[in-house]
Amino acid sequence: MSTSASALVGESGTLLRTYRLANHRFLTLAQGSVVDFASKKGAIVNAANEGCLFGGGVDGAITSAGGPNLAEDRRKLPRISSDVRCHTGDAKVTGPGDYGDLRVPFVIHAVGPNYWMYDEDGDVQTPHRLLYSAYKSALDCTVDQPIKEVAFALLSAGVFRGGQSLGRVLAIGVSAIRDWAEDNSNSSVTDIVLYAFTNREAKTLLHVCHRILLDNGGHSASGDSAATVDTSEKEEDADASTKGAADKEASAEVPQEDDDKMQASASMDDETGDSKAKEPAGAGEEVEATQEGECPDETMMNDDKEEAKQSSTTEGATPDTGKSDDAAANDDEKNS
């Protein structure tokens, strides 16, 4: 790994696992808040709304930590229409800047889809494509910037995932990151971090990454052996029914334009439900220890219902006040 994952995540985050991607890049899974990510040449990816101003959840936390400089830079993003600075499925970057308590010079604002808007029509392909695009667009923002490390809040994984399973939306995000790493050799990015907030998100993200990045032959698309790093003595074994459910959650319906790539990696074996990482062919070397604590076990998942409520208010949801983003922002300023 090019950068110490411990240094990036800091004391407040828990490192779960690191995977090799194409073009000498790494994907690290962490549990904690993306607000705590620290890198002098880094960026965090905010789960933003189309107005790119003040939302709830993780957006609210980033807004609060970023202070007036971040708020001003977000206001300066060009308007596409009256209240839109970034379309759903796209991303915009602010920085470099001195953003208050944030420990990165760049903030990328990615707009994932609100699945509730599509559930009534039974249209899943459109939001799937938009979610896939939002992750890739966020990484595209790094191409012309001196950004080496990028940390993501999970997009559309809280209240915005509607009737979709958590595993499904996470599989789309992981597939998008993997595909971007394969297709882009001209970006300076070397390390990508995905932050799970709740125990359930952490557990599901591990299942998804094992299936997409390891179990599908154990090799990256470039032909190099994929590798995983885990410093725990052994990974806990979930019971078969729990593992099978997690695998079913992680089967994603995929964007048409990347159907061949994503079908192979995002389809899960519902029969076996085996989520253990397989030994990658030819990948015998250690990379860097990336786990400072135990992965969440099944007993930690008993509070899933409570965490789901918490997740619904921490993953980029914007309260419906009946006002535009700009009007809400003006009200916030008056009240501050």
pLDDT of 3: 57
pLDDT of 216: 52
Active site residue 304: no
The answer as to whether 335 is a domain residue is no
The answer as to whether 154 is a domain residue is yes
The answer as to whether 208 is a domain residue is yes
The answer as to whether 295 is a domain residue is yes
For 58-76, what is the mean pLDDT?
96
| DSSP codes, 252-305 | ----GGGHHHHHHHH---TTT---SPPPPTT--S------SSPPP-GGGGGGHH
**Residue-number span of the structural domain to which 114 is assigned:** 8-303+311-323
What are the CA-CA distances from residue 77 to residues 73, 91, 95, 109, 187 (Å)? 7, 11, 11, 11, 23
Instruction: Name the average pLDDT for the chain.
Output: 74
The burial class, CB within 10 Å (0-12 / 13-18 / 19+), for 12 is exposed
pLDDT of 4: 63
- Bigger pLDDT: 3 or 109? 109
The answer as to whether 334 is a domain residue is no
The answer as to whether 133 is a domain residue is yes
For 54-62, what is the mean pLDDT?
90
Q: What is the number of domains present in the chain?
A: 1
pLDDT-based confidence at 40, cuts 50/70/90?
very high
The answer as to whether 1 is a domain residue is no
pLDDT-based confidence at 331, cuts 50/70/90?
very low
- The CATH number linked to 159 is 3.40.220.10
Sign of CA dihedral 163, 253, 16, 149: negative
The answer as to whether 278 is a domain residue is yes
Sign of CA dihedral 192, 270, 304, 255: positive
- Bigger pLDDT: 54 or 170? 170
Q: Choosing from 59, 73, 90, 247, which is the catalytic residue?
A: 59
